[in-house]
Amino acid sequence: MCQPMTDELHITSLVVHVQPRRAEGADAAIAALPGAHIHGSDPNGKRVVTLEAPSASAILDHVEAIQRIDGVINVAMVYQHVEPLDAMNKEITNVEYPT
């Protein structure tokens, strides 16, 4: 699906449950998705995954792609955050501890 250019960054966290015997292939397929990162896993097949994309529809496309991966049992969205791209390039200063 072609996504329009946006000035936003969507960040979503997921818990992905995979069959342990298919974990290696599922992990590779998830990691191959643009903007997907696996941050943690356990031997029972649960993974903590984040997705970054320019739109909510792109996030949903990635979630659907993960759901179709062989060995994936369930995908649960935990959190989604949207940030303007220009805010991502601003320096953050700590008022209590200025540099």
Alpha-helix residue ranges (DSSP H) falling in the chain: 23-31, 56-67, 85-88
Q: What is the pLDDT of residue 5?
A: 54
Q: What is the pTM of this model?
A: 0.81
Q: What is the pLDDT of residue 69?
A: 98
Could you count the other beta carbons within 10 Å of the beta carbon of residue 90? 8
Using 50 as the pLDDT threshold, list the residues of the chain that sit under it.
1
- For the domain 8-88, what is the CATH code? 3.30.70.920
What residue ranges do the domains of the chain occupy? 8-88
